[in-house]
Amino acid sequence: MEKKFMRRADLITSIILMIGSIGMFAMSIRLVLRTLEKNRDWYQSAGLFPVIVSVFLFLCAISLYRTAKRDGANFKFITLENTKNFILSSEFKIASTIIGLIAVYIFGLLPIKWLKYEYSTFIFLSGFMFIFNKKDVKSIVKTIIISVIATVMLTYGFGQLAMIPLP
């Protein structure tokens, strides 16, 4: 990809990273404040590490933005025609599908009380791989086997070995 196009992408990416890091910072500060409300020390908060990461992410995004602007990137390329072409592109459709599947998993499957974490994860992984794989019998069987193995490894690895409480 040409440097001109990369710098345009850097410009947009830096803005998205800035917005994301500000959101992450706000949510992390809420965690820190909750820790303080429970009369615990601030350094014991689960939100401390995300606060640090969000600050560094914001600094990296500013650096990326400055580099892109210095190399001549601007917003003139954002036109109705370019936006339409972007929305109709296969990359946008794939990214939208991935974001949609993750949203269904987080906001749809995980909150269901009677559906355990393991089953939600299996459904998510199977659905994800089914959508992006071939639809023949061999691929479907392989998808199910991989989903079962990945779900067992995630559940055992995080739940038992790392002793991280799963949803």
Q: What pLDDT digit, counting tens, does each position of 50-85 carry?
A: 999 999 999 999 999 999 888 887 777 778 887 888
Q: Do residues 45 and 34 both lie within one domain?
A: yes
Domain total of the chain: 2
pLDDT at position 44 is 78
Is pLDDT of 117 > 80? yes
Q: Which residue has the higher pLDDT, 7 or 143?
A: 143
pLDDT at 1 over 70: no
Q: Are residues 42 and 114 in the same domain?
A: no
Tell which residue, 67, 46, 58, has the closest CA to residue 20: 58
In this structure, are 66 and 138 located in the same domain?
Answer: no
Among the three residues 63, 78, 93, which one is the final residue of a domain in this structure? Answer: 78
Does 157 lie in the same domain as 93?
yes
Range 16-39 average pLDDT: 91
Which phi and psi (to 5°) does residue 130 adopt?
Answer: -65, -40
Are 71 and 88 members of one domain?
no
User: Across all residues in the chain, what is the average pLDDT?
Assistant: 88
86 and 164 housed in the same domain: yes
More confident residue, 101 or 37: 101
Rounded to whole angstroms, the Cα distance separating 9 from 25 reads 24
Query: Residue 130, Cβ neighbours under 10 Å: how many?
Result: 15
95 & 67 share domain: no
Both 90 and 161 in one domain: the answer is yes
Who's near 117: CB < 8 A, 6+ residues apart?
Answer: 110, 155, 166, 167
Of 116, 121, 21, nearest to 65 by C-alpha is 21
Shared domain check, 166 and 85:
yes
**Structural domain range at position 150:** 81-167
Q: Mean of the pLDDT values across residues 10-20? A: 92
Q: How far apart are CA 57 and CA 98, in angstroms?
A: 23
Do 80 and 23 meet the contact criterion of CB atoms below 8 Å apart?
Answer: no
d(CA 51, CA 69): 27
Q: Can you read off the two tokens belonging to residue 118?
A: 């393991």
Q: For residue 68, give every residue at least 6 positions away whose Cβ sits within 8 Å of its Cβ, in sequence order, or none.
A: 7, 8, 10, 11, 14
Asked if 137 and 147 count as a contact pair (C-beta separation under 8 A), the reply is no
